[in-house]
Amino acid sequence: SQKIEQNSEALNIQEGKTATLTCNYTNYSPAYLQWYRQDPGRGPVFLLLIRENEKEKRKERLKVTFDTTLKQSLFHITASQPADSATYLCALPHSGSARQLTFGSGTQLTVLP
């Protein structure tokens, strides 16, 4: 069955630095991959979608890469700010149903002032 791993449960970085989060997956070749942000006690909020034929995608200070050979996506936040502190989840379409999503366990990012 498909498996998603977000390597770091928690990541602390200094304000202004670039945060890099990793999402690895196995037993699957998804057509796309998504990243979400979740704040405590709230539902996830969609950030970016990257398709299998896209190597990189950017949105303001966010950058996502998608390496289908390595089966890995990297999520970067440049010039990080304390307001970026949250849990970030990667998600893949379910192998059995494209309308369902399977989520990684998330990485809790803390940006220190």
Partner 1 sequence: GAVVSQHPSRVICKSGTSVKIECRSLDFQATTMFWYRQFPKKSLMLMATSNEGSKATYEQGVEKDKFLINHASLTLSTLTVTSAHPEDSSFYICSAILQGSRTEAFFGQGTRLTVV
In angstroms, rounded to a whole number, what is the distance separating the alpha carbons of residues 97 and 103?
14
Where does residue 58 fall: left (phi above 0), alpha (psi -120 to 50 degrees), or beta otherwise? Answer: beta
Within residues 31-60, the interface with partner 1 by CB under 8 A covers 32, 34, 41-46, 49
Q: How far is the CB of 16 from partner 1 (least distance, A)?
A: 27
Residue 17 vs residues 76, 81, 110, 111: alpha-carbon distances, Å = 10, 9, 12, 9
Nearer to partner 1, 60 or 113 (CB): 60
How far apart, in whole angstroms, are the C-alpha atoms of residue 14 and residue 31?
A: 34
- For residue 113, what is the enclosing H or E element? none
Q: Least distance from C-beta 54 to partner 1, angstroms?
A: 14
**Binding segment toward partner 1, per CB under 8 A, in 18-26, 54-62, 74-82, 91-99:** 91-99
- Which C-beta is closer to partner 1: that of 91 or that of 111? 91
> Which residues are near partner 1 by CB under 8 A?
9, 32, 34, 41-46, 49, 89, 91, 93-94, 97-106, 108
